[in-house]
Amino acid sequence: VEEINNVTPEYVRSFEFDSKLMPSTWIVVRIDGCHFHRFSEIHEFVKPNDDRALNLMNLCAVAVLEKFWEDIVFAYGVSDEYSFILKKATNLYQRRANTIISAIVSFFTSTYVMRWKNFFPQSELKYPPSFDGRAVCYPSTEILRDYLSWRQVDCHINNQYNSCFWKLVASGKSKREAQNSLKGAQLQKKIEELAIDYNNLPVMYRQGSSVYRDKVDIALIHQENGEFPENYGKVIVGHIDIIGPTFWLEHPNILD
Ligand code: ATP
Ligand code: ATP
Ligand code: MG
Ligand code: MG
Ligand code: MG
């Protein structure tokens, strides 16, 4: 082994630590846009919900599921965030946290930039967007379901709040006034007061987006190696209730 000024590669490497994610647990990688409050203003997102931006996020999530098709079984997204669920048995990058998070977040981000013009043909990308990422292990399917429920409840509450906020702004209130009048308010009551037809808002705004494979034919998976097998199951985007049991009962192979 080559030495430079008596420094061996082994010595320098001895400072590196690979944090491994706990074996046999669900891994959730959640990514979130950095300063998207500003990013969405500079790029003139429609408030409170810009369809183009949401559809671009969804396309990036589909691309992530196709690239990591052996490991990622489900994803849930809302606003500028996405949660990717890696199956319990995954051995992706030997479960090294840093590698898993950075590979997902950089692939998602470069896809976002590459596909920007498809969703915003009239509006130039003014600076490079970035996302942060974190990984959390969940030891049981029950707790993983609780995690997903928490994200969907958050989607609902934020969407109620934002619907009221932007309705108040549209009615001539300043952002500060709108914020003050919603402080501690019961959102359900506010929605009625402001005559917002909440239940008829697009389901994507109310439920967020879920990304998964339609049907997985286990018998066909083993016929091919490496590349995403065509018959593995098309990746689809749905806007559905993932808190109740129905979806999971109808798709028993996702979290099996
Ligand atoms: P941080 O870097 O801490 O995540 P942030 O500014 O990204 O800060 P978030 O809490 O992640 O804050 O909120 C994201 C913000 O991005 C939302 O509050 C909203 O203003 C904006 N945003 C994201 N997606 C959309 C969309 N599809 N339509 C309109 N606005 C959006
Ligand atoms: P991994 O995903 O494990 O990192 P890798 O294919 O990226 O696999 P590396 O050990 O990171 O392997 O090596 C990067 C490779 O990329 C080099 O071996 C070289 O073939 C190629 N490469 C990178 N930069 C250049 C460059 N500037 N000019 C020519 N080839 C390059
Ligand atoms: Mg953040
Ligand atoms: Mg953000
Ligand atoms: Mg966010």
How would DSSP label each residue in 149-204? HHHHHHHHHHHHHHHHHHHHHHTT--HHHHHHHHTT--HHHHHHHTT--GGGS-HH
Q: Is the CB of 50 under 6 A from ligand 1?
A: yes
Q: Is the CB of 133 under 6 A from ligand 1?
A: no
Q: Name the strand (E) or helix (H) holding 30.
A: strand 26-33
141-170 vs 175-182: helix crossing angle, rounded to 10: 130
118 C-alpha to ligand 2 centroid (Å) = 30
Q: Is the CB of 45 under 6 A from ligand 1?
A: yes
- Show the tokens assigned to 231: 């018959």
106 C-alpha to ligand 5 centroid (Å) = 17
All domains of the chain in start order, with CATH: 19-144+203-250 (3.30.70.3000)
Q: Is the CB of 204 under 6 A from ligand 1?
A: no
pLDDT digits (tens, 9 = 90+) for 38-71: 999 999 999 999 999 999 999 999 999 999 999 9
ipTM of the complex: 0.94
Q: Name the strand (E) or helix (H) holding 84.
A: strand 81-86
Q: What is the pLDDT of residue 36?
A: 98
80 C-alpha to ligand 1 centroid (Å) = 5
Does residue 239 have a pLDDT over 80? yes
Q: Quick one: pLDDT band at residue 251, thresholds 50, 70, 90? A: very high
Q: Is the CB of 54 under 6 A from ligand 1?
A: yes
Q: Is the CB of 112 under 6 A from ligand 1?
A: no
- Residue identified by tokens 């300063």 is 35
Q: Quick one: pLDDT band at residue 225, thresholds 50, 70, 90? A: low
